[in-house]
Amino acid sequence: MRRLILVSNRLPFTIERSGNETRLRQSTGGLVSAIKSYFEKNADTRYSFDQKIWVGSVDFSLQDLEALKEGMAQQEFNIEPLTIEENTYSNYYNGFSNSTVWPLFHYFPSLLETRREFFEAYKAVNQQFADKIVSIINDDDILWIHDYHLMLLPQMVRNKKPNAAIGFFLHIPFPSFEVLRLLPTEWKNALLSGVLGADLVGFHTHEYAQYFVRSVKMVMKIDNHFNTLLYKNRLIKIDLFPLGVDYEKFHSTNGEVQEQIDKVKSAFADKKIIFSVDRQDYSKGLMDRLRGFDQFLHDHPEWKEKVVYLQNVIPSRDEIPAYMERKRMLEELIGTLNGKYSTIQWQPIIYRYNHLEFDQLKGLYKVADAALITPLRDGMNLVAKEFVASRSDKQGVLILSELTGAASELSEAILVNPLDREEISNAINQALTMPIKEQEERMVMMQKRLKEYDVVKWMSDFLDQLLSVKKEQQKLRMKLLDENAVQKIIQAYKVAKKRLMLLDYDGTLAPFTRIPSEAKPSKVLMEQLEIMANDPINEVVVISGRDERTLDSWLGKLPISLVAEHGASIKFKGSNWQKQFNIQPGWKDRIRPIMDLFASRCSGSLVEEKDNTLAWHYRNSVPELGFTRSRELMNSISQLITNTSLQVIDGNKVLEVRQSGVDKGTTAMKLLNNFQPDFIFSIGDDATDEDMFNILNKKGFNIKIGNGATAANYNVLQQSEVLPLLSKLINSTNIKEENAYT
């Protein structure tokens, strides 16, 4: 029995009272409309949800809810209401959610409030949600958490339900790291780690997704592989899912809608109509939009008495004094502009502060000559999409802020900078004078896009990706070195008569360091290698990219074999170094200047020269810059070494150039033929080790550190797991050392 559990700050309806009458009213907002439309179309048949549950807080008593049982029976969802103490809710919602997260994520840092009681309330309410969810969730349920109010919730649920399928979708912009870092460190870490409790994290645009990935890398030092992250031994996918609209619902026309169209046309028969509808919020740019309209009337007096701007503002957060103050300022400006331009028979701005019924809204969309949608910042802006979807006549012009998520999809709109009055003025004039043929061409292209990726596609896409990432996690778990696999290796180790241990060094036996020369072996590692090497049936080989001098200095006193520079030189136990090929003279002089140039262009990178290899390390660079420069450098070197005996190796935050034919795979085969073992154990962390894994495939136990695709039999996710694993092998045949390294 699979259930879908949706979680948002509020339940998808409110209770309205009029005299003695009480009724349910569906909440406004894209999420509610999208999910309601999805299930109305019976689009969930592919998932066969036995039950849909919506968890959210309520601003009315449970007694009121009980009194409306009949209305509740018609809802698509079973509900799990949360009642939250009034002061706590105010600090959580009006405080941290809308006075801290909202302004910062919308690039209004000057409005940011950083009060400790706000954050504590935010944590408390998120925990209350978590307790409710944990009490009802089953193992095969899908949990989908929505928006900025609940960014701590995914990890809180994960702590109690580690195998749950959890999706998180952010409906507002995610800011660049430079803006996010303005948050106090504790709060910043908490929000990011909270969201990473999800298996799939969704955003409206590619830009927001990339900002999130970069913030995670910079704040939490977690590396990404394209759009996946590994956090707490769990694969997490980050992707974009631009929220759509119910295209057919807006496109159709019924009698009530036609009546609304006729009324508006009758009222403004000889005038062009500009329309906008927004929530009351500073991010919507209402004041700047009015100033742009003011500029238009000033620049184009020929439109006097020939155009009317219908501005509908939806009440929002009226309990916050700052919002009511902005409402007052807005209404003052509207009054000023109407006083400035009105005539006895004409008022340029018709203002309404109220909710719109759906048929009213559709009618206004369909009758408007232009929609003026110019927020200063908006995660998506579904109003723009609704306007486009509603135009069954394929006419009308959309004027859209370039700072909305929707702008990336609706590129045929007239895109404007919402702060540029002259640009808004010119855009309005362009829209009102645009030929019908051009209007239709633009509208057809936008409508095609919206029809293909509507609310059904949006929700199906997200659920598909969530189930897909759960399958990827399962595949990874199947290759993860669990206790059963460890016991299998130990058993084979114990009964073997001749063992070959092939051990990579950097990122395997020793963690990476900021400077390569600092990665000296620890005391514990040296003791483990010595004990392992003293077993007469063991042949221990450290097979590394390090040069001869470094390996001799660090490990030369141990009774083990050493391989330098991936196989360029081999030093068998008790012997001297043996070169494995003839060095081609002069090649470094051609490659070194290019690497030096890129080191100077990428702060934190450095060039390391070995006997037979040149390496460019970028582990200490800003991640995005380092990766970009590495691709550029690899391309430059690849072109330079075409038709030569050189090769470029893309390692773990390092690019290496060496002669072809020298790799760990070829070397591993030499060692295999030399020692003739009946037990083979190899372990490594990067692309250079894959050569070894490919050669040794099915010949032994091969282990890759990290979660990437590999030819190895098993994965361990962290370098810190390597020494405990070696300790178990040592202890399995050295009983007296049994507790030495566990």
Can you give the pLDDT at residue 70? 57
Structure tokens, 83: 């009642």
Q: Which of 49-53, 300-304, 328-332 has the lowest mean pLDDT?
A: 49-53
Work out the burial of residue 345: count CB atoms within 10 Å of its CB; fewer than 13 is exposed, 13-18 middle, 19 or more buried. Answer: exposed
Residues 560-583 have a mean pLDDT of 91
Handedness of CA 552, 553, 556, 560 (dihedral sign): negative
Phi-psi category of residue 460: left, alpha or beta, with phi > 0 → left and psi -120 to 50 → alpha: alpha
Q: Is the pLDDT of residue 132 over 50?
A: yes
Structure tokens, 125: 């309410």
DSSP code of 95?
I
- Of the chain, the percentage scoring pLDDT greater than 70 comes to 94
Residue 688, phi then psi, degrees to nearest 5: -65, -25
For residues 676 and 539, the answer to whether their CB atoms sit within 8 Å is: no
Can you give the pLDDT at residue 736? 44
How do residues 311-367 score in pLDDT, each as one tens digit?
999 988 777 777 888 899 999 999 999 999 999 999 999 999 998 999 999 999 999
Amino acid making up residue 22:
T
SS3 79: strand
Pick the closest to residue 247 from 40, 360, 386, 44 (CA basis): 386
Mean pLDDT, the chain, rounded, equals 91
Q: Is the pLDDT of residue 474 over 70?
A: yes
Can you give the pLDDT at residue 738? 42
SS3 398: strand
CATH architecture of 3-240: 3-Layer(aba) Sandwich (3.40)
Domain ranges of the chain: 3-240, 247-452, 480-581+662-737, 587-659
Confidence tier at 651 by pLDDT (50, 70, 90)? confident
Can you give the pLDDT at residue 447? 97
Can you give the pLDDT at residue 45? 60
How do residues 77-129 score in pLDDT, each as one tens digit?
888 999 999 999 999 999 999 999 999 999 999 999 999 999 999 999 999 99
Can you give the pLDDT at residue 237? 97
Q: Which of residues 129 and 220 earns the better pLDDT score?
A: 129
> Which element (helix H / strand E) includes 583?
none
Confidence tier at 737 by pLDDT (50, 70, 90)? very low
Confidence tier at 62 by pLDDT (50, 70, 90)? low
Can you give the pLDDT at residue 24? 66
Confidence tier at 65 by pLDDT (50, 70, 90)? low
Alpha helices in 374-495, H assignment, sequence order: 382-390, 421-433, 436-452, 455-479, 483-495
Distance, in Å, from the CA atom of 263 to the CA atom of 420, rounded to the nearest integer, reads 34
Q: What fold does the segment set 587-659 form as a domain?
A: Alpha-Beta Plaits (3.30.70)
Residue that is written with structure tokens 């909202």 in the block: 102
pTM (2 d.p.) = 0.81
How do residues 8-25 score in pLDDT, each as one tens digit?
999 887 776 666 666 666
Pick the closest to residue 431 from 298, 267, 272 (CA basis): 272
Residue 504 annotated among the catalytic residues of the structure: yes
How do residues 662-672 score in pLDDT, each as one tens digit?
889 999 999 99
Residues 30-43 have a mean pLDDT of 75
How do residues 275-299 score in pLDDT, each as one tens digit?
999 998 999 999 999 999 999 999 9
Residue that is written with structure tokens 């990336």 in the block: 408
Strand segments (E) across 581-640: 606-609, 614-617
Can you give the pLDDT at residue 23? 67
Q: Do domains 3-240 and 587-659 have the same CATH topology?
A: no
Residue that is written with structure tokens 């331009």 in the block: 341
How do residues 412-427 score in pLDDT, each as one tens digit?
999 999 999 999 999 9
Can you give the pLDDT at residue 724? 95
Can you give the pLDDT at residue 311? 97
CATH architecture of 480-581+662-737: 3-Layer(aba) Sandwich (3.40)
Q: Is the pLDDT of residue 187 over 50?
A: yes
CATH assignment of 247-452? 3.40.50.2000
Most confident segment among 44-58, 192-206, 452-466, 652-666: 192-206
Q: Which of 334-343, 569-578, 616-625 has the lowest mean pLDDT?
A: 616-625
Can you give the pLDDT at residue 318? 74
> Which element (helix H / strand E) includes 680?
strand 679-684
Q: Is the pLDDT of residue 195 over 60?
A: yes
Q: Is the pLDDT of residue 228 over 50?
A: yes
Can you give the pLDDT at residue 739? 42
Residue in 199, 369, 504, 663 annotated catalytic: 504
How do residues 100-110 score in pLDDT, each as one tens digit?
999 999 999 99
Distance, in Å, from the CA atom of 541 to the CA atom of 533, rounded to the nearest integer, reads 9
Phi-psi category of residue 148: left, alpha or beta, with phi > 0 → left and psi -120 to 50 → alpha: alpha
For residues 246 and 34, the answer to whether their CB atoms sit within 8 Å is: yes
Can you give the pLDDT at residue 225? 76
If one counts every other C-beta atom within 10 angstroms of the C-beta of residue 76, the result is 13
Pick the closest to residue 229 from 196, 192, 189 (CA basis): 196
